Amino acid sequence: MLKASPSDAGTAIPDRPRIGRGAISNSSGRFERLNNAAVDDGWRTDQTDDPQPRLDTTVTFDQSRTVIARNDSPDIGFDQSINPYRGCEHGCIYCYARPTHAWLGLSPGLDFETRLFAKPDAAGLLERELSRPGYQAHPIAMGTNTDPYQQVERRLKVTRSILEVLARHNHPVTITTKSALVARDLDLLAPMAEKGLASVSISVTTLDSDLATAMEPRAARPERRLETIRMLAAARIPVTVMVAPVIPALNDHELEAILIRARQAGAIHASYILLRLPLELKDLFGEWLSTHRPDRKQRILNRIREMRGGGNDAKLLAERFRLTCRQQGFTEDHTLLDASRFRKPNLREVQDGQLNLFESPDS
């Protein structure tokens, strides 16, 4: 339908929360000329305020030809990354990756957390890229866009297959996640960390389980993330706690408590990220506030604007973070990974292996 006024067809039906989902609406992305909207034509029978039915998750296989993404921005702390999945079932309403779904012709709202794309051939593609004559080893970052350990990873194991390749060739990797599933791969990550090849960042947004349920509905609960930090630390894997995102007037008061709990669990590094609301994310987060925190919506949005502008509150937050890190004994210098151990795959063996993948049983 064209982006016409709902009054042309009837009264607009307000969006309502979906069970287990973060976004409230599913408006079209910024590149679409058309949009659809539910309207009441006078024949509605569902006049309740109950949450709408659950939405199923679908996964489409992405037939990418390459798997390593590269950037040369001085503002980003890595120059190459791998994203095994596009879209994320965790459904975090604040996720800065939501607007990327618009590039696929899909909504950054509910589509982002229900219409996922996976890269099942990622391991083979990676090994082929690592074997190229001009390849230079630098740490590969995973989890820079969407979570590599979201629910679908339990079944597809794309992330694990990538780690198997990196481990086999002594290639350094950093992982960012808010999932307890990362502990499944301790058998790979612990030996890699012993060689200086792996580190993990765990994102902890809040210690309030109710707030976490509303804000990041399918991610691991706060206590499970702290337990995951304990497990990683016990395996001698360098762990960073990321207090992210910090949302003024919503969870910023938890900064010190999160840092203290994470340090007690074994994290040795810490960082924080102030919420930003690019493109469609601004409206999506505003809808979430109207539904879950209507009394605080305007205050929260005003404080975000003030702090993103670098005002006194932003400086105070930075000072609080600095003092707590010093008091808790967090290490200031981040773990440097060792790229000198990298062993390039044999190009011939990789090519033969790729051919074998496509040979028929009778050939």
At 46-82, the pLDDT tens digits run 555 566 777 899 999 998 899 999 887 666 677 899 9
Q: Contact at 8 Å (CB) between 101 and 107?
A: yes
Q: Count the Cβ atoms, other than its own, within 10 Å of residue 244.
A: 20
pTM of the model: 0.89
At 1-48, the pLDDT tens digits run 344 444 445 555 567 888 899 999 998 888 877 776 655 555 555 555
Q: Is the pLDDT of residue 280 over 90?
A: yes
Output 357 or 89, whichever has higher pLDDT.
89
Burial of 176 (0-12, 13-18, 19+ CB in 10 A): buried
- Residue 74 — φ and ψ, nearest 5°? -70, -15
Mean pLDDT of 349-360: 54
Identify the CA nearest to 316 among candidates 250, 241, 271, 253. Answer: 253
At 119-168, the pLDDT tens digits run 999 999 999 999 999 999 999 999 999 999 999 999 999 999 999 999 99
Give the architecture-level CATH label for domain 55-333. Answer: Alpha-Beta Horseshoe (3.80)
Spatial CB neighbours of 60, under 8 Å, sequence gap ≥ 6: 115, 116, 117, 118
Q: Contact at 8 Å (CB) between 193 and 170?
A: no
Alpha helix stretches (DSSP H) within the chain:
110-114, 122-130, 153-156, 158-168, 186-194, 209-215, 222-234, 255-265, 281-292, 297-308, 312-328, 347-358
Domain ranges of the chain: 55-333
Q: How many helices (H) and strands (E) does the chain have?
A: 12, 12
Angle between helices 255-265 and 222-234 (to 10 degrees): 40
Cα 29 to its chain centre, rounded Å, is 19
- pLDDT band of 361, cuts 50, 70, 90: very low
